[in-house]
Chain A
Amino acid sequence: MGRYVLRRLLQLVPVFIGTTFLIYWLVWSLPGDPFAGKCGDRPCPDAYIAVMRERFHLDEPLVVQYGRYLWNLLQGDFGETFRGLEVGELISNAYPNTIRLAVVALLIEAVIGLAAGVLTGLRGRGFLDNLTLVSTLFLISLPVFVTGFALQIFFGFELGWIKTTVAKSPAPWEQLIAPGFVLGSLSMAYVTRLTRTSIAENKHADFVRTAVAKGLPQRRVVGVHLLRNSAIPVVTFLGTDLGALMGGAIVTEGIFDIKGIGNLVFDGIIGKDGLIVTGVVTLLVLVYLLSNLLVDLLYAVLDPRIRYD
């Protein structure tokens, strides 16, 4: 197990260097001049562009620029944006919001999704099952910006139950419930269906029949034998979903004005601010790799038959 983890961690190094270089190179090859939009509707003066290009070393070859960036990054310096702001500070301001939103979304999808999935999976056909099927189908068919605006208008403007926009940073937890629901709704539907199928399938498996035949109480049969064996696909899904959620949610963050990582990257791409994009994406790659590693390790806990080494 220890060697496995070490190997996985070592694999992060080449992936890290490869992705940062790729992102760096991609951002700099985006069409458009990074200083074109910085002076309003008029072209920027030559002297301004010359000074900015020199300050950000834009005239040097790409490899030299990248080397300089990586060296600074290893010393913990994410660099400066074209607006003159510290990228590190921007990220540390934005990331707590994204993490909070991701946690709320993940909680909502895990709790509601698992509960509904387990219930319908155990009960089988019936009214509840049909209701869940139809409502999850409904959620899956709705794009996030529809659910987002619908909730904002209905609960925010009409009923006044929720704040229409969050605006505060770090975002208060209670204001993130509605945005978290919007963000998690699609995955919630998937989790429900995955759990339901998985449970329904394992319900008739040999080991469950054996457990029932042994005379184990229902709670133990379901809670230990059935659930644990059915959880693997669901946990895989939740794990990758956590990685995706950590990457920020441009649409949800935009609707509810949450100062998260998604919009930071989006603005960086629009403004051709390479250092923001590279910095954030590098971080996201790490988060994604680590959350995947975590999921892989969880398999062994859930199913003793899976061994690493």
Chain B
Amino acid sequence: MRRPRWIAASTMSLAVALTIAGCGGGAEDGADDSGAGNADGALSAFTTEPENPLVPGNTTESGGSKAIRAMFTGLTSYDPVTGESKNAMAEDIATTDSKVFTIKIKPGWTFHDGTPVKAKNFVDAWNYTAHSTNGFQGASFFEQVAGYQDVHTSDPDGTAGPQKAPEPTAKEMSGLKVVDDTTFEVTLSAPFSVFPLKFGYNPFYPLPDAFFADPKAFEAKPIGNGPFKFVSRQANANIVMTRYDEYKGDDRPKFKDLTWKIYETNEAAYAAVVSGDLDFLDTIPPTGIVGGKYKQDLEGRNGSVPYMGNQTLAFPFYDPIYQNVDLRKAISMAINRQEIIDKIYDGTRIAADGWVNPAVPGYAKDQCGELCTFNPDKAKEYLAKSGYTGPITLVTNADGGHKDWMTATCNSIKNAIGLECTYAPIPTFAETRQAANARQLKGPYRAGWIADYPSIENFLNQLYRTDASSNDGEYSNPKLDELLAKADSAPTVEEANKLYQEGERVLAEDMPVIPLWNQTAQYGWSDRLGNARLSSLRELDLSTVTVKN
């Protein structure tokens, strides 16, 4: 009887295989130390998987934005430190009445496929993005342009209803006009002085003719006009780019190859940057922030910078309990912001003194005043005036790491004014969004905001105007609406900002949303990089960073 010796034979080959595998360890990619600033160096930076195909008009979330902004340059760009808008591809943006803008672009720029960037490329891209049948996320950024209503129709009974949105009556917005190859004219339906500040944001980038010829092919291999051109992309792994040598802008990169690496978790990316496998991480995870751990792990190669975002608690006005202004003020004054920041965030956040982030042009100091200061006695007075004694519930998504500060806020309210407070998490961000859209949130909810473009306007118009796109709490005050409308049509940005600030003070009377703190970003880099810094838009400044080898 001859039978194979199954076990013995198999274990032996396994053992051999294991030894072989063990021998192959420790092969490092060749790297030589040769001073600072290698112009042909390669750099890897952290990103998340883009939510949509890489087309500027359809990308508003951060993972895709990072890739888009490396590949495209708009009419303007934002200063990495001050956040101010300055001309990039635009030679001149002229207006006399804040209604008609004449835009001249610099000649000689080319897309990565060699075709010149003309005024037409901007106009076509804007029309395509705004057209509702294309369903682009950035469409609403064009709502001030004359003729927007003709290209962008909305569903009369919402997306859930049986009716469909009517076909748009026009293909192009009447307010966009190409004058010649380097000039075009934008007419708004009403004066809006802040409008040019949006020009540096994704939906305003130009698109090459190749996009309109074959959008599918463009999605697979995007063609931009920015400092980096697309090389390849592997889903869930990386997006590879290389320097575009014909780039005409003054923010030319000082290295050659750029790889966006996608990590499964923020913690894994952190481990990679500590050990040098990843060169730049723009968001240190909470586990690295606790006790300032990242400052030891990444000694001499970490930074912390405020960015244009804030954290707030918003009230659902559709719930009669929270229509009481005294209750809203009482809750605001019962929150010990500084203590929560120190305990939960190791002091890295900045307590809010208003509804607008300090990093944004147009910000005014102390707009919230004593209402945003911890004062249990005053809070108790307001609570007594409101006559409310029942419990309150704080709501947010459970999958975003908000539990710690939410419970701390709840405890602060409970201890200061004795109001029974519970934290009620909703499992996922998507479900929270759905409840917010359906107006079903059961109490004050987290409502963070990150600016799309640096302006005080971005923190007010879309959040507090009656029926604004992100006014989930249904707050409404005609006085504020009027001030915002007036500010929109102010002839200059300075005058507009003054009116916006006046509008912000109306918020202090109503307290529809409690400002908590302004966000800061903690970032770190490997020892291969020099001059690494995070811009005010929370992205690696690709124009200053250098690679050592």
Q: Which A residues form the contact surface with B (CB < 8 A)?
A: 31-34, 36-53, 82-86, 89-90, 93-94, 104, 107-108, 110-111, 114-115, 152, 156-157, 160, 162-165, 167, 169, 172-175, 177, 223-224, 227-228, 231, 253-259, 263-264, 267, 270-272, 301-302
Contact = CB atoms under 8 A, between A and B. Distances in A.
Interface residues on B, range: 35 or more
The 5 closest A-B pairs by CB, nearest first: A51-B135, A36-B433, A257-B268, A32-B430, A174-B25
A115 B25 CA distance: 24
B96 interface: no
A172 B155 CA distance: 51
A33 B271 contact: no
Nearest to B433: A36
B260 to A, nearest CB: 12
B52 to A, nearest CB: 6
B90 to A, nearest CB: 26
29 contacts: A32-B431, A33-B433, A33-B434, A34-B430, A38-B61, A40-B60, A43-B470, A46-B158, A46-B159, A47-B136, A47-B152, A53-B159, A82-B51, A83-B53, A85-B235, A94-B236, A107-B17, A164-B271, A167-B261, A174-B24, A174-B25, A174-B26, A231-B7, A254-B267, A258-B264, A264-B236, A267-B49, A270-B399, A301-B6
A38 B49 CA distance: 11
B338 interface: no
Nearest to A178: B25
B171 to A, nearest CB: 15
Nearest to A35: B430
B263 A50 contact: no
Interface stretch (B8-16, B77-85, B413-421): B8-16
A227 B10 CA distance: 13
Contacts of B165: 46-47, 50
A113 B33 CA distance: 45
A228 B49 contact: no
Nearest to B62: A40
B63 to A, nearest CB: 10
A165 B277 contact: yes
A41 B272 contact: no
Contacts of A224: 5
B359 to A, nearest CB: 17
Nearest to B438: A33
Given A45-B137, A167-B263, A156 B271 contact: yes
Nearest to A38: B51
A36 B429 contact: yes
B6 A39 contact: no
Nearest to B55: A84
B150 to A, nearest CB: 14
A173 B21 contact: yes
B469 interface: yes
A195 to B, nearest CB: 10
A83 B430 CA distance: 15
Interface in B251-267: 261, 263-265, 267
Interface of B: 5-8, 11, 14-15, 17-18, 21-22, 24-27, 49-53, 58, 60-62, 132-137, 139-140, 152, 154-155, 158-159, 164-165, 219, 234-237, 261, 263-265, 267-269, 271-272, 274-275, 277-278, 399, 428-434, 436-437, 448-450, 462, 469-470, 472
Contact of A47 (B135, B261, B267, B472): B135
Given A83-B49, A174-B24, A50 B277 contact: no
A89 B7 contact: no
Contacts of B272: 164-165, 167, 257
Given A33-B433, A257-B263, A301-B6, A44 B449 contact: no
Contacts of B60: 39-40, 42
Nearest to B449: A41
Nearest to A115: B11
A167 B271 CA distance: 11
A259 B237 contact: yes
Contacts of A36: 429-434, 437
B61 A270 contact: no
B268 A107 contact: no
A173 B17 CA distance: 11
Given A83-B52, A107-B18, A272-B430, A39 B5 contact: no
B18 A157 contact: no
A227 B7 contact: yes
A156 B277 contact: no
Contacts of B434: 31-33, 36
Contacts of B15: 111
Contact of A165 (B7, B135, B275): B275
Nearest to B429: A37
A114 B271 contact: no
A163 B235 contact: no
A39 B470 CA distance: 12
Nearest to A108: B18
B155 A33 contact: no
Nearest to A169: B237
Given A111-B15, A111-B18, A174-B25, A50 B436 contact: no
A1 B52 CA distance: 51
Nearest to A41: B448
Contacts of B263: 165, 167, 257
A46 B469 contact: no
Nearest to A34: B430
A68 B453 CA distance: 42
